[in-house]
A and B are shown apart, each in its own frame.
Chain A
Amino acid sequence: DIVMTQSPDSLAVSLGERATINCKSSQSVLFSSNNKNYLAWYQQKPGQPPRLLISLASTRASGVPDRFSGSGSETDFTLTISSLQAEDVAVYYCQQYYNSWTFGQGTKVEIK
């Protein structure tokens, strides 16, 4: 099974500052036939189900603010929140879907 490892486990960022979350997969999730990375990011606020933010490593889901962006390829990926807002306090998960489906352990984002 592909193992997803996120870093850090938690981070505190001032309002308006940048937040960066990393995700590393134990093997490449790049599908060579279409050159797409099968990597998604989800946001989960307390007491709520997860919400899809980004798929294919960098494609924002419908309705997701453009302060959220995803980057990376093969085994190393990043979710960036360019200007942290109060409503962005949540746990963020990466997920690979190249070979079955596995989530990372989550990164908790708080306000400093």
Chain B
Amino acid sequence: QVTLRESGPALVKPTQTLTLTCTFSGFSLSAPKMCVSWVRQSPGKALEWLALIDWLDDKDYKTSLKTRLSISKDTSKNQVVLTMTNMDPVDTATYYCARLDYLHGMDVWGLGTTVTVSS
């Protein structure tokens, strides 16, 4: 059974750096074609894709956020870490990680973690 779980701070201050961890089980990120992605959703808004990392350690970022995002993986711990710098109140959202397949999309999602940016 594939599961993913997001963890990180519930509250960050403006200008701080957010670090989120996705811990997964049921698959290996070293296996061919496996990827993990991050998606966020501001309250009452649409889904917004942020970043992904694949089994080859290739990475992709949302163009408009590229300078603020960094994604990495620890295959031995089955974890993917997303950092976002210079947080702003508009970054308040629920952040999801999902297993991703380049051919079939995001097939398994975590429950999400809510992050509020406020002083």
Give residues in A with beta carbon < 8 Å to B.
1, 36, 40, 42, 44, 49-52, 55-56, 59, 61, 93, 95, 97, 100-106
Contact = CB atoms under 8 A, between A and B. Distances in A.
B104 A61 contact: yes
Given A49-B110, A50-B109, A101 B104 contact: no
A87 to B, nearest CB: 18
Given A51-B109, A52-B107, A100 B47 contact: no
A105 B48 CA distance: 9
Interface residues of B, number: 22
The residue in B96, B98, B109 that gathers the most chain A C-beta atoms within 10 A of its C-beta is B109
B96 to A, nearest CB: 6
Contacts, number: 61
Interface string B36-47: 010100000011
The residue in A49, A95, A97 that gathers the most chain B C-beta atoms within 10 A of its C-beta is A49
Contacts of B37: 101
Given A102-B49, A103-B47, A49 B112 contact: yes
B63 interface: yes
13 contacts: A42-B105, A49-B112, A50-B39, A50-B47, A50-B106, A50-B109, A52-B105, A55-B103, A95-B106, A101-B52, A103-B47, A103-B49, A104-B46
